[in-house]
Amino acid sequence: MDNLANTDRRHDIDWLRTIAIFLLMLYHTTIVFQPWANEVWFIRSEQSLETLWLLMEALNIWRIPLLFLVSGMGVAFAMRRRTWLQLVGERVMRIVLPLIFGMFLVVPIHLMLFQSYQSMPLEYTSHAAHLWFLNNLVIYLSLFVALFYWLDTRRGHWPQWLGKPPIASWLYLSIIPAMLLASWVNPENFAAYASSLHGLVYGGYCFLLGFMFIYVGPSLQLYLQRWRFLHLAVAVTLYLSRLLLWELQAPNWLNALESMFWLFAILGLAGHYLNRPSRVLRYLSAGVYPMYIVHMVALYANCFWLLPLQLNPSLSLLILTLCTLVQSLLFYELIRHIPWLRKLFGIK
């Protein structure tokens, strides 16, 4: 197996983490234009864009699993330069502190904006809300950090075929636990990851899988790049089958199968096209967490002035997305120059 002391930087993984966070922000903006938005404590537009949800269904099956997958990969790379105590300490500062700060001082603001928009009594409520995935990362790190460091010490004692051809066998066998876990938990909605047992279990498996994808060495990534279009074709075929044959309500084992092939395709495409340094990447990679923490406040605040205008819903979606993104960027640009705020929002 390849030694974890290797320090080569994988820029494609930084890109994937950044893209996954931005897709989460886009997803939240899209919810505003769904008729069920109020049921999940989102401000709802009177003008709907329900057909847009067909695209979201193609994204939802892999966007959260991708986030946990690349988080597991990030831990594998971080271990190369840190002891387990250093790793835990860094993650506390970058995940636990922003989670606590967000729960008690940021999330209550957007919840009160929702209450105000709905003409409800204003009440302070501390909640993880959209930061639930940070809470999951804390749980996964607590569960797996000892295992990860033990695996690192056992590198020379594992069968060589784990990191050598036939790497395809190792890759495709990893689909089976995902399918079994999805069938066991059997969520009513596969994409309902937030604060659910399904999200905790499936996200944890993806986190563990992300670590193993780096642990087995570069041969796996080379294989994913080589067969990226085949994996993409399988993923698209499975999505179309879910849409046309099951009206998006496919069995969960089949949803997990589709999810895994999307992940394989995305990793292969990113490794082939995005593994190169960039000033934009360096800037955004440091800013996606603080931007994500505050974007719901910006989103809800923008709904107050935009939705009453009753513009074309597609135009409203575009304006709402751009305004929320720009305001989140401006907030990041502000806080990154203030040391104590940097710490509260998880910036190194």
Residue of 131 and 85 predicted with greater confidence = 131
Across 115-127, average pLDDT: 94
pLDDT digits (tens, 9 = 90+) for 269-280: 999 999 998 999
**Overall average pLDDT of the 15-34 stretch:** 94
Name which of 6-10, 131-135, 206-210 the model is least confident about.
Answer: 6-10
Task: Say if CB 295 and CB 24 are below 8 A apart.
Answer: no
- Averaged pLDDT, 17-39: 94
Assess whether pLDDT exceeds 70 at residue 143. Answer: yes
Supply φ then ψ for residue 83, to 5 degrees: -75, 170
Burial 171-201 (b: 16+ CB within 10 A, else e): beebbeebbebbeebebeebbebeebebbbb
Q: What is the pLDDT of residue 166?
A: 64
Cβ–Cβ contacts within 10 Å for residue 310, how many? 11
Cα–Cα nearest to 191, from 290, 73, 297, 53: 53
CA distances, 282 to each of 58, 261, 279, 295, 303 (Å):
28, 28, 5, 20, 31
Mean pLDDT of the region 50-76: 93
Percentage of the chain with pLDDT > 90? Answer: 79
Query: What is the average per-residue pLDDT within 120-136?
Result: 94
| Cβ-based burial of 149 (10 A; exposed 0-12, middle 13-18, buried ≥19) | middle
- Residues in Cβ contact with 333 at an 8 Å cutoff, skipping those fewer than 6 apart: none
Between CA 155 and CA 159, with CA 158 as vertex, the angle to 5 degrees is: 140
Average pLDDT over residues 193-203: 95
Q: What are phi and psi of 268, to 5 degrees?
A: -65, -45
- For the chain, give the mean pLDDT: 91
Q: Does the structure show a pLDDT above 60 at 4?
A: no
In eight-state DSSP terms, residue 250 is -
Query: What's the burial of 47, exposed, middle or buried (CB within 10 Å: 0-12/13-18/19+)?
Result: middle
Give the CA dihedral 50, 52, 53, 55, nearest 10 degrees. 160
Residue type, 259: S
Candidates 137, 127, 144, 141; CA nearest to 21 is: 137
- Give the pLDDT confidence of 298-320 residue by residue, as tens digits: 999 999 999 999 999 999 999 99
Of 92, 58, 71, the residue nearest 21 (C-alpha): 71
- The answer to whether 148 and 75 have CB atoms below 8 angstroms apart is yes
For residue 35, pLDDT over 70 is answered with: yes
pLDDT of residue 158: 58
Among 16-20, 106-110, 215-219, name the one with the lowest average pLDDT: 215-219
Q: In angstroms, rounded to a whole number, what is the distance separating the alpha carbons of residues 203 and 132?
A: 12
**Residue 170 vs residue 145, higher pLDDT:** 145
pLDDT of residue 63: 94
pLDDT at position 117 over 90: yes
Over residues 130-157, the mean pLDDT reads: 87
